[in-house]
Amino acid sequence: MNNSLDKKIFNYNKTYNKKNNFENRLTQIETIVGINNNGTPNGNGIINMLECFNRDMNENKENLKDIQKDINNIKFKLGELEYILKEHQNTRNFIEKEISSTKTDIKEIKSALQDSITTKSIVKIKNIIIGLGAVIVALSTIIGSIVFFANKLG
């Protein structure tokens, strides 16, 4: 009879050990998953990691939306800058054409002024006429003196 009791105790110990091993394994799995024995989250484990991952994903989605808005704003600003550059280039080309046209006009005016009567040319002509008048007066004085003396002597 002792043998039968030993068998029962052995079987009980074996069953108890299996149950204990199962409880230990279940506790380890609960810890890995992130649940305490009473069913509350423990803040570690897969559940917490997934919650953090989801929170980070949501933050990243918001950041991506903000980045997309910024990219769209930058594209819009680049479009405006391209338009401004085109307008600036058109204005620059127009100004360069006007400058070259003005230079040509100034050259034509300069050449026309060289052939025209100016204040300096009038002063030069006046001085020449006064000089010729002085020469004529001097010559007529000399000729008049010669004629006067020729009449007195003759």
d(CA 88, CA 81): 10
Backbone φ and ψ for 11, nearest 5 degrees, come out as -65, -40
Map out the domains of the chain as residue ranges. 117-154
Indicate the DSSP class of residue 41. B
> Mean pLDDT across the stretch 76-87?
94
Amino acid in position 127 = N
CB atoms inside a 10 Å sphere around CB 47: 15
Determine the pLDDT at residue 5. 61
> Mean pLDDT across the stretch 12-25?
72
Determine the pLDDT at residue 140. 92
Model confidence band, residue 6 (pLDDT cutoffs 50, 70, 90): low
CA distances from 66 to 52, 59, 69, 73, 86 (A): 21, 11, 5, 10, 30
With a cut of 80, say whether residue 68 has pLDDT above it.
yes
CB atoms inside a 10 Å sphere around CB 19: 10
Entry pTM: 0.43
Give per-residue pLDDT as tens, 105-115.
Answer: 999 888 877 76
Give per-residue pLDDT as tens, 46-64.
Answer: 888 888 888 999 898 999 9
Determine the pLDDT at residue 4. 67
